[in-house]
């Protein structure tokens, strides 16, 4: 390993050791960590639910990247074209279509029944998928 790289690495190790040292020496009555406010991470309640449902049930196949790793996005790119691949960026989908696809499944995509996603959740999920995005 060459000079500057090695010293960078040593530097990183030293800071890690210092951090670890600080942790151990902490007074038992140290103040609780501050909750940092992050407005960009705040969603309204409904959007939050739809997004959570999407992340739990759909993103594994429909992440916003055309790659064989995401079979939904990938299949749509192959069969319909790249501009139809990412369902959260499409302008041609509406909530009814999304809900019908989720309930019935399509091709390789499984159907999701009301015990997995109930009607109220489906409404939030579909609204999230078709939400206008820049
Ligand atoms: C196991 C992978 C998988 C999961 C999970 C999955 N999908 Fe799909 N989805 C696909 C595939 C593959 C297609 C393309 C099917 C075809 O056209 O043959 C598709 C198609 C779609 C379409 C149709 C788009 C169109 O052009 O008609 C929508 C909408 C959709 N999925 C929404 C969802 C939603 C919402 C969820 C979560 C509840 C979800 N999918 C979960 C794989 C998946």
Residue 106 CA, ligand 1 centroid: distance in Å: 7
Q: Are 53 and 117 in contact (CB under 8 A)?
A: yes
Residue 9 has pLDDT above 70, yes or no: no
Ligand 1 and 122: CB distance under 6 A: no
For the chain, which residues make up each domain, given as ranges?
59-86, 93-134
pLDDT in tens, 111-123: 999 999 999 999 9
pTM above 0.85?
A: no
Q: Are 66 and 93 in contact (CB under 8 A)?
A: no
Ligand 1 and 85: CB distance under 6 A: no
Q: What is the rounded distance in angstroms from the CA atom of residue 127 to the CA atom of residue 12?
A: 45
Phi, psi of 34 (to 5 degrees): -70, 140
Q: Which of 61, 81, 100, 121 to mutate to test the pocket of ligand 1 (most atoms within 8 A of CB)?
A: 61
Q: What is the rounded distance in angstroms from the CA atom of residue 93 to the CA atom of residue 72?
A: 15
pLDDT in tens, 28-74: 677 776 655 555 545 454 458 999 999 999 999 999 999 999 999 99
């Amino acid at each position: 390993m060459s000079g500057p790289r090695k010293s960078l690495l040593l530097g990183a190790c030293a800071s890690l050791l210092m951090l670890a040292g600080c942790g151990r020496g902490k007074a038992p009555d140290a103040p609780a960590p501050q909750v940092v406010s992050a407005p960009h991470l705040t969603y309204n309640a409904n959007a939050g639910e739809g997004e959570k449902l999407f992340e739990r049930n759909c993103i594994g196949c429909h992440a916003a990247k055309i790659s064989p790793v995401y079979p939904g996005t990938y299949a749509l790119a192959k069969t319909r074209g790249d501009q139809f691949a990412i369902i959260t960026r499409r302008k041609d989908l509406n909530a009814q279509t999304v809900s019908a696809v989720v309930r019935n499944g399509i091709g390789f995509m499984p159907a999701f029944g009301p015990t997995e996603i109930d009607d109220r959740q489906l409404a939030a999920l579909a609204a999230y998928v078709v939400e206008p995005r820049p």
